[in-house]
Amino acid sequence: MVQNILIYCGADGAADFAGQLSQKSGDDLGLVNTCLDPSEVKTSGCRIEDERSYGGVEMSAFDEPIAVGSAVAQLAGHADAVVIERLDDWVDRLAGHHGSDKSSITAEITSMCSVMKAGLLDMLIVTRKQADDSGPNAALLAEVLEQVEPLCSVVADLSGGEPQVLRGELPS
């Protein structure tokens, strides 16, 4: 059964946890790394693709700062699971890239949620949870999490160190 898993992380991230958890889905794993400035990508949809270690696990990696839904759909052609590293960074990149163009931001969020709903492969979504409203894009992240979290059968919180399952059950 295909699962969407949301992993809240602390300042150290959750690469080791997400990498190990992704292996429970199969051997062919993907990574969508959002931590890239959109200006470093020559054209929209032009991704840097390579094999990369993430959390000690080899994955097919796409560096994609904006079109996350499209990157996941492309990886779904062969991967058993994909890790999105990190939703909070992606929200910052969306806001920085699209500025006040709310319709473009909404389109990207809708694209990612559509891929989640399609159930093409297991998705592990790593993100920090804003602790307060002080971040410049805290409201947008809260809005995205309100849409993403209900699509996840498992929600785990690693921000305190050890995984705390908030909903569902982690794959064994």
The answer to whether the CB of 87 falls within 8 A of the CB of 144 is: yes
* For range 142-156, the mean pLDDT: 97
Q: What is the pLDDT of residue 40?
A: 73
Q: Which CATH class is domain 4-167?
A: alpha beta
For residue 113, pLDDT beyond 70: yes
Q: Please, which pLDDT band fits residue 17 given cuts at 50, 70 and 90?
A: very high
Tell me, what DSSP letter sits at residue 120?
-
Q: Residue 16: enclosing H or E segment and its boundaries?
A: helix 15-22
Residues 6+ apart with CB under 8 A from 69: 108, 110, 111, 112, 113, 114, 115
* For range 17-36, the mean pLDDT: 95
Q: Please, which pLDDT band fits residue 131 given cuts at 50, 70 and 90?
A: low
Q: What is the pLDDT of residue 38?
A: 78
Of the candidates 80, 75, 47, which has an alpha carbon nearest to the alpha carbon of residue 63? 47
What CA–CA distances, in Å, run from 74 to 40, 62, 67, 70, 82?
A: 20, 10, 11, 6, 11
Q: What is the pTM of this model?
A: 0.92
* For range 91-111, the mean pLDDT: 95
* Rounded Cα–Cα distance for residues 172 and 35 (Å): 29
36-63 tens-digit pLDDT: 887 776 555 556 578 999 999 999 998 8
Helices 102-118, 87-98: crossing angle, 10 deg rounding: 150
For residue 114, pLDDT beyond 70: yes
Q: What is the pLDDT of residue 46?
A: 56
| CA quadruple 46, 93, 59, 52: dihedral sign | positive
* Rounded Cα–Cα distance for residues 140 and 135 (Å): 10
